[in-house]
Amino acid sequence: MTFKIVVCIKQVPDTTDIRWTEHNTIQRDGLDSVINPYDIGAINLANYIKSLNREVQIIVVTMGPFQAQDALREALAMGCDEAYLLSDKKFSGADTLATAYTLSQFIKNIVPDFKLVICGQQAVDGDTAQTPSSLAEKLGIAQATNITELINLSNDCVILKKETQFCSQEIKLPLPSLVACSCNNIEINPDINSYIRSQKSRIKILNAEELSVSEDNIGLKGSPTQVKKAYRPVITRTTELLEEASSETYADFILSEINKCKADNG
Ligand code: FAD
């Protein structure tokens, strides 16, 4: 039986090029959009599973505007087999709860026989890291977050490596389950043929009606959280760089800074 993996990706502004409006919102006009870096890690994990001699199908999905098709085409070039865009004016303004609900309706209706859902750990624009856990809850399946590696996979369970602030853990999950992947430093460079194939592939676009969603649970209406303001924190600390100094100079500098702190704190 085909082992079906659903990979959830989000298209985000390219964070190396972020600008802010005078109202402290993200200036999206003229900004490049990219696949959320953690989601590339998710695609990579799915590709790794595919490489384990299994009959694997990778279904990639995103909820967003029509331009998010670009992200899906890139994901197809990177090795995903089928792509779905959940797009409807009614989905706009969704917070993490409404996003998770919409994604869960997609999975329940279109891929009910999935084995694994793989998400990125967090999106670099919203950055809440809430969507994967909410999605697992709505699907009624087990979940593991901050996953960096797959250790073993069988037909009914998966063993994964999880990084916490203090240690690494091995987590065993029954299948089906959800994994949130925190490896964001992986680049996938598809070859030209994969790109050409992906440009010719059909992306299936689904609206609210086709997902049998309850309109009270989607978009702005289904979102208890609303972002009133986003701003850059003002960083007041200063940095002094000591270049190519001797160990004695470093030590003297540190000592004088400690003494200054002591004097400042009375
Ligand atoms: P995260 O939960 O960080 O994303 C984790 C993973 O979930 C992603 O890597 C991806 O795999 C998957 N995923 C996320 N979104 C999608 C999608 N549209 N399609 C497919 N997969 C997806 N919403 C809140 O509820 N609470 C907040 O505090 C909040 N703060 C925000 C702050 C800012 C600056 C912005 C721009 C948005 C904020 N939002 C918030 C809205 C939030 O961005 C959206 O709800 C978004 O759809 C999902 O949340 P996220 O971006 O935090 O994703």
**pLDDT score of 15:** 65
98 contacts 86 by C-beta, under 8 angstroms = no
Closest residue by Cα to atom 9, ligand 1, is 120
Ligand 1 pocket, mutate which of 23, 128, 130, 133 (most atoms under 8 A from CB): 128
b/e code 160-197 from CB counts within 10 Å (16+ = b) = bebeeeeeeeebebebbbbbbbbbbeeebebeeebeee
How many whole angstroms from 43 Cα to the centroid of ligand 1?
A: 18
Collect all residues with Cβ–Cβ distance below 8 Å to 128 and sequence separation of at least 6: 96, 122
Residue 34 per-residue DSSP state: E
> Which own/partner contact pairs does 142-145 have at CB distance under 8 Å and 24+ positions apart?
142/173, 142/174, 142/177, 142/178, 143/173, 143/177, 143/178, 143/179, 143/180, 144/171, 144/173, 144/177, 144/178, 144/179, 144/180, 145/121, 145/180, 145/182
Which residue type occupies 259?
Answer: N
Residue 26 per-residue DSSP state: B
* Ligand 1 atom closest to the CA of 38, numbered from 1: 9
Instruction: Report the SS3 class of residue 144.
Output: strand
- What is the CATH code of the structural domain delimited by 3-217? 3.40.50.620
**pLDDT score of 19:** 67
| Strands, E assignment, 115-251 | 116-120, 142-153, 157-163, 168-174, 177-181, 204-206
Residue 20 pLDDT class (50, 70, 90 cuts): low
How many whole angstroms from 188 Cα to the centroid of ligand 1?
A: 23
Q: What percent of the chain has pLDDT over 70?
A: 94
How many whole angstroms from 2 Cα to the centroid of ligand 1?
A: 30
Q: What percent of the chain has pLDDT over 90?
A: 70
**pLDDT score of 29:** 67
150 contacts 52 by C-beta, under 8 angstroms = no
Residues 72-129 pLDDT 10s: 999 999 999 999 999 999 999 899 999 999 999 999 999 999 999 999 999 998 889 9
Provide the residue ranges of all domains of the chain, joining segments of one domain with +. Answer: 3-217
Rounded to two decimals, the pTM is 0.87
Cβ of 230 less than 6 Å from ligand 1: yes
8 contacts 39 by C-beta, under 8 angstroms = yes
Checking if the pLDDT of 158 tops 70, the result is: yes
Average pLDDT over residues 239-250: 86
Nearest to 146 by CA among 124, 127, 125, 129: 129
Residue indicated by tokens 């500098």: 253
Cβ of 10 less than 6 Å from ligand 1: yes
How many whole angstroms from 196 Cα to the centroid of ligand 1?
A: 30
